[in-house]
Homo-oligomer: A and B are copies of this chain.
Amino acid sequence: MAMEGESKELPEVLVLGPPWVFSTLESQFPNKFHYLKPWLSQLPLHQFLTSYAQSTQALLIPVSPPLNSPILDCLPSLKLVVTVSAGVEHLNFAELRGRGIAVAYAGNVFSEDVADMAVGLLIDVLRKVSAGDRFVKQRLQPIKPDFPLRSKLSGKQIGIVGLGKIGSEVAKRLEGFGCRISYNSRTKKPLVSYSYYSNVHELATNCEVLIICCGLTEETHHMINREVMLELGKDGVIINIGRGAVIDEKEMIRCLIEGEIGGAGLDVFEFEPEIPKQLFTLDNVVLSPHTAVTTHESFVGIAKLAVENLEAFFSNKPLLSPYVA
């Protein structure tokens, strides 16, 4: 269990979840910390925390479930939360600030992988890569069949929703395809030459593809609603590698079924871990099980970053990837 002798002198880190990446972290960076692992205990979580974590200063968590007040109430010494996600919608920053707790997050570790996946999903929706693979493998048949014509990517007008690090990486990649890039974000970026639209309606009206790269906040919740989808139009494509609830998922499904938008490539969903079954039968939809970040390289990268943030914290040095709300 978590209390054995030799690791007692290492700095103590409470792990909840655990995050997917924790096994990578433990194996790649051994003997760095003494981990408290409540999931290995017979005790209920609350009792584990009040029994063993009263002096715990650092906490490592996944993106889900949300870090709530009852848990924080059990951790009176907590000073640092390290989350291994780029999205931070599971954290209440007002409360954490009030308790004097800092946050380190994934920063840009996943940005390239997520951007690669966004482009992969877009090519797949337009060019039917998955459908072609399925077609060949399932029908066991010679090629040059009645396979439908698809749509060209090069030259398309792409609308990036949220031009942060991930959105910028997506834009950089699609420039190489000769696409024309526009974007919507809270403010115009002074150093960026792409066309800026101050609201997502104008962006949708002027683009053939929307790529959702923003995080989930009160402002972005259901930002891509039925009206935006109708503005995007019947040949329009939506790619979502941000967060599911940025799109009104129920309306999106209706638009996809009724042909009011042309297709979608989705790595995230509004009510994860559930994916609406209505999406499974749609040929114009490519689904991905929230794997935009799951490469060997990014797992080693986030494990390293989490360790470095914890080491910085215990050495009273600045965090490497602090989240400033």
Query: What is A's interface to B at a CB cutoff of 8 Å?
Result: 20, 112-113, 115-117, 119-121, 123-124, 126-130, 132-137, 140, 142-145, 147, 149-155, 172-178, 269, 272-275, 277, 280-281, 286-291, 294-299
Our pick among B134, B176, B272 for the contact of A172 (Cβ within 8 Å) is B176
A112 vs B152: C-alpha distance in the bound complex, in angstroms?
8
Closest chain B residue, CB of each to CB of A136: B287
A170 vs B180: C-alpha distance in the bound complex, in angstroms?
18
Determine the chain B residues whose CB is within 8 A of the CB of A281 once the complex forms. Answer: 137
**B142 in contact with A274 (CB, 8 Å):** yes
A133 vs B125: C-alpha distance in the bound complex, in angstroms?
11
Determine the chain B residues whose CB is within 8 A of the CB of A135 once the complex forms. Answer: 289
Q: How far is the CB of A177 from chain B (nearest CB, A)?
A: 6
Closest chain B residue, CB of each to CB of A177: B173
Determine the chain B residues whose CB is within 8 A of the CB of A113 once the complex forms. Answer: 127, 152, 154
Our pick among B128, B155, B274, B294 for the contact of A147 (Cβ within 8 Å) is B294
Our pick among B129, B136, B297 for the contact of A120 (Cβ within 8 Å) is B129
**A273 in contact with B123 (CB, 8 Å):** no
Determine the chain B residues whose CB is within 8 A of the CB of A144 once the complex forms. Answer: 20, 272-273, 289-290
A178 vs B116: C-alpha distance in the bound complex, in angstroms?
10
Q: Mind listing 13 A-B residue pairs with CB under 8 Å? A: A113-B152, A123-B123, A127-B291, A128-B291, A129-B129, A130-B134, A136-B287, A136-B289, A142-B275, A143-B273, A144-B272, A145-B289, A149-B299
Q: How far is the CB of A195 from chain B (nearest CB, A)?
A: 19
Determine the chain B residues whose CB is within 8 A of the CB of A298 once the complex forms. Answer: 152
A135 vs B172: C-alpha distance in the bound complex, in angstroms?
30
**A116 in contact with B123 (CB, 8 Å):** yes
Our pick among B129, B147, B272 for the contact of A130 (Cβ within 8 Å) is B129
Closest chain B residue, CB of each to CB of A273: B142
Our pick among B129, B137, B174, B277 for the contact of A124 (Cβ within 8 Å) is B129
Determine the chain B residues whose CB is within 8 A of the CB of A129 once the complex forms. Answer: 117, 120-121, 124, 129-130, 286, 288
Q: How far is the CB of A52 from chain B (nearest CB, A)?
A: 28
Our pick among B140, B272, B290, B295 for the contact of A280 (Cβ within 8 Å) is B140
